[in-house]
Every structure is written in structure tokens, then in C-alpha cells.
């Protein structure tokens, strides 16, 4: 069975598979047999922690095959995917002041600790990175300063290199409620709590359907405009490469590369396609992403958020990287960057 034939099944069965305890992702990839990777395509289910079946209740044992299809289900450890801005001081994070802004350079919104510039496209006149790097996870507004080196570097050479221009809002499952009655009740209860000297506060939330069309995300994306006096180019930092165009998405089983502010230049294989994954941004902030690409662990780490992945054989962009765990890196196919750009700025 070809990858395109398996793809529709991911959407069809993901809700059922996510109902099993600890499931964090469902995608398409090559299955394992006896601990070794095969050339057989199947549905890959990522769990937070992979346990022996003897330790699981019968109702929590995932099926080994999709009933009536012959498509195998392979269970792997995915860990708990999170966004990967730089949020703590570490000596391996690149706090160097860069004169020229290019793919792989550290930078961030003035209220964000740190992250990476994905790329600069002269034809767009825009720099690309993540919402949580350039727009403080929906907290920024157009015109906010973008800093380099980023704020966590606490560098005397930090300067404003540009401003936030536009971001695609991340849709969280527990978003603020649009209901005036619920908001009024929570306001009244908080008033009583304040009068009683309590620090606890309530917030009315609108719990969305996890896999509804208006709930899922396709990219964690923001654009910035660089100041006229700041040099920018299309080169890729820490390499002799320059972007030679773009593909719509990554290629399963093929080697890809990226340059990031934390782990610098790395090359890893694409291990999953068409993946639906839950990403934990913070307490009560869970976002569902669909149609994502996954890469081998070690492709990116905290601080590499916003890096651009490219196919090694062509040096063309494939994914805007934004999240991961110890066992995988996660990227949004570049076609979504293009579609969001065209929808906002015009194609």
C-alpha cells in the first residue's frame, strides 16, 4: 500500500486512537519488526511512555492492525511534544550578535526568551519564524520589537532588528469562552475570592472539539519585517548553503537538514508524514496540529524553534520546525507557510 492510500485512514481513525491512554501522535511511517525498521508502511502511534503489554489493562492495549485494511499499527515512544523556544540559560545556545540576519540566527520577540529565524525571503520582504518566537504565543501585536541577540542572552549588544508584522493565531483546546453568562459568573466568583483574600481565580473556558476543522492547527507561524539598516540575505548560517527554492513538504525516509541557534547544523531522516499531534504549550494550553512531518530525535532542541528544514539533496525548504520531544522533531510543511502568507498578503 502506498503512502497516499494510507493517509486518509489517519484522519478516519485518529480520534479513536487518541482515546487510548498516553497517545500523543498518529501518523504514517515505516513500521518496526523485531526492533528493526522495515520498508512496510503503516500507521505510527506515538505514546508518551511505551510500556509492556503485561503492565496495561486490556482496554489500553492498542490494536496491531487497522481492522479490515491490512494496515499495521506500530506503537512508538513519542514523549510529550512541546514547543522549543529557548527558555533557560545554557552555554550551547548561540548568543552571538549577528550583523546580517539569515536562516539559523538567534532572535526573538522582546517578551520571549529566545528562538531561531527560519529564513528571509527577498521576494516577500519578510523574515519567517514561529508564533511563539516572534509573537509570544498569541501575545504580540503588530509592530512589537524583535531582538537579536534574544532577551535570554542578556547581552549588552542586544538590539532591535525588526518588528512583528503578522502571526497565525495558535488555537488552543481550552480557549477563553465567548459566553457572556459564563464570563459573568466567573467574574462574580473572582470578586468574592478577592474579597476573601484568596489568590485563586477562575476563568471561563470554551472546550473545543479536538479534531474539528476550526480547532486543528497547521503551522506555528509568524512574520517579521527587518529594519532598513539591518542587512538580510538568503544564506543559511553555519553552512555554505543558500535556499534554492521550496518543496511543499518533507520526504519520508529522506535526509533533511536545519541550522538552529541551539543545536546548530544537524541532518536527520523524516520518519513520519501526515501526523496529527498534541503539543503542550503550557498549563491548560494544548494545541492539536494535523498533517505535520516528524523527524528523528536530535534534529532540534530548545532554542531551535523557528528553524527551517530543507531536503538535503536539493537544498529546498520543506518544513518550519516548531516542536518536539526527546524522540522526535516536528515541522509544519512549507505549503502551509506559503498558503498563510498568500492569504494575508496576497499571492
Beta bridge partners of 206: 175
- Is 218 in the same domain as 301? yes
CATH of the domain at 323: 2.40.10.120
- Is 281 in the same domain as 148? yes
Which three-class secondary structure state does DSSP give residue 18?
A: helix
Domain boundary pick from 156, 191, 207 = 207
- Is 159 in the same domain as 302? yes
CB atoms within 10 A of CB 2: 7
CA distance 262 to 321: 13
CA distance 193 to 176: 20
- Is 201 in the same domain as 120? no
pTM: 0.90
Strands 65-66 and 71-77, bridge-based pairing: antiparallel
Which three-class secondary structure state does DSSP give residue 261?
A: coil
- Is 261 in the same domain as 336? yes
- Is 46 in the same domain as 19? yes
**In total, how many domains does the chain have?**
3
CA distance 252 to 243: 20
- Is 149 in the same domain as 286? yes
Backbone angles phi and psi of 148, in degrees to 5: -150, 125
Domain of residue 147: give its range.
Answer: 82-170+211-345
Domain boundary pick from 159, 184, 207 = 207
Inter-residue contact 330 to 256 (CB < 8 Å): no
Low-confidence ranges of the chain (pLDDT < 70): 89, 174-208
- Is 125 in the same domain as 262? yes
Query: What's the mean per-residue pLDDT of the chain?
Result: 91
- Is 323 in the same domain as 221? yes
pLDDT in tens, 71-122: 999 999 999 999 998 877 688 999 999 999 999 999 999 999 999 999 999 9
pLDDT in tens, 140-177: 999 999 999 999 999 999 999 999 999 999 999 965 54
Domain boundary pick from 77, 94, 111 = 77
- Is 179 in the same domain as 247? no
CATH of the domain at 68: 3.30.300
pLDDT of residue 90: 82
pLDDT of residue 182: 38
Among 340, 330, 292, 315, which residue's Cα sits nearest to residue 7? 292
Cell of 141: 501585536
pLDDT of residue 192: 56
- Is 256 in the same domain as 190? no
Collect all residues with Cβ–Cβ distance below 8 Å to 23 and sequence separation of at least 6. Answer: 17, 45, 46, 47, 48, 62
- Is 280 in the same domain as 333? yes
Cell of 212: 474539528
Amino acid at each position: 500500500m502506498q503512502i497516499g492510500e494510507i493517509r486518509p485512514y489517519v484522519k478516519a481513525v485518529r480520534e479513536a486512537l487518541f482515546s487510548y491512554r498516553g497517545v500523543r501522535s498518529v501518523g504514517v511511517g515505516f513500521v518496526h519488526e523485531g526492533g528493526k525498521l522495515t520498508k512496510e508502511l503503516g500507521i505510527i502511534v506515538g505514546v508518551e511512555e511505551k510500556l509492556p503489554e503485561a503492565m496495561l489493562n486490556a482496554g489500553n492495549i492498542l490494536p496491531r492492525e487497522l481492522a479490515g485494511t491490512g494496515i499495521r499499527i506500530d506503537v512508538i515512544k513519542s514523549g510529550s511534544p512541546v514547543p522549543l523556544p529557548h527558555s533557560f540559560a545554557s552555554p550551547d545556545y548561540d548568543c552571538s550578535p549577528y550583523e546580517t540576519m539569515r536562516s539559523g540566527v538567534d532572535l526573538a520577540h522582546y517578551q520571549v526568551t529566545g528562538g531561531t529565524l527560519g529564513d528571509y525571503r527577498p521576494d516577500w520582504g519578510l523574515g519567517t519564524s514561529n508564533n511563539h518566537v516572534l509573537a509570544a504565543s498569541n501575545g504580540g501585536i503588530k509592530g512589537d520589537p524583535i531582538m537579536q541577540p534574544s532577551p535570554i542572552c542578556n547581552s549588552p549588544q542586544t538590539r532591535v532588528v525588526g518588528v512583528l508584522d503578522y502571526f497565525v493565531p495558535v488555537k488552543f483546546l481550552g480557549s477563553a469562552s465567548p459566553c457572556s453568562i459564563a464570563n459573568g459568573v466567573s467574574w462574580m466568583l473572582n470578586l468574592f475570592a478577592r474579597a476573601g483574600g484568596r489568590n485563586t481565580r477562575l476563568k471561563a473556558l470554551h472546550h473545543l472539539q479536538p479534531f474539528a476543522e476550526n480547532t486543528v492547527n497547521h503551522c506555528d507561524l509568524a512574520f517579521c519585517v527587518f529594519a532598513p539598516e539591518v542587512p538580510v540575505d538568503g544564506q543559511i548560517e553555519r553552512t555554505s548553503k543558500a535556499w534554492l527554492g521550496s518543496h511543499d513538504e518533507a520526504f519520508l525516509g529522506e535526509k533533511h537538514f536545519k541550522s538552529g541557534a541551539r543545536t546548530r547544523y544537524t541532518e536527520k531522516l523524516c520518519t513520519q508524514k501526515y501526523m496529527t499531534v498534541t503539543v503542550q504549550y503550557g498549563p491548560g494550553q494544548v494545541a492539536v496540529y494535523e498533517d505535520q512531518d516528524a523527524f528523528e530525535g536530535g534534529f532540534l532542541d530548545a532554542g531551535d524553534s523557528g528553524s527551517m528544514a530543507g531536503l538535503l539533496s536539493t537544498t529546498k525548504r520543506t518544513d518550519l520546525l516548531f516542536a518536539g520531544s526527546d524522540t522526535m522533531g516536528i515541522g509544519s510543511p512549507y505549503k502551509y507557510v506559503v498558503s498563510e502568507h498568500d492569504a494575508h498578503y496576497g499571492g
